Amino acid sequence: MTVSVDVITGILECGKSTLIMDLLQSGCFEEYERIVLLQCEEGIVETDEILGEKQNVLLKTIESEEEINDTLFIEIKKRI
């Protein structure tokens, strides 16, 4: 099984959420069976509205670094 990982980082309010939503809407990830989006901050862009249209995208908001652990990935695996 091959897993692709894309990491998008940047300072607060620099347009990361907008970029991700634009990429998802453009169809450039259509080849992927499932997409897990780990969101470490909530941006200005309403991701829920856009992601509601995408059946293969799971959005998980991370509130703190401590949440990034084995339990998180087990939970994600169950949901996809």
DSSP 53-64: T-TTEEEEE--S
Which residues constitute the domain of residue 45? Answer: 33-79
With respect to residue 49, please indicate whether it lies within any of the assigned structural domains. yes
Of 74, 16, 27, give the one whose Cα is nearest residue 54.
27
pTM, 2 dp: 0.68
* Residue bearing tokens 């099984």: 1
Is 9 within the bounds of a domain?
no
> What digits encode the pLDDT tens for the residues 2-12?
777 888 888 88
Whether residue 53 lies inside any domain: the answer is: yes
Name the domain count of the chain: 1
Letter string b/e over residues 34-66, b meaning 16 or more CB atoms within 10 A of that residue's CB: ebbbeeeeebebebeebbeebeebeeeeeeeee
**pLDDT category, 43, cuts 50, 70, 90?**
low
In a domain, 46, yes or no: yes
Give the pLDDT of residue 57: 82
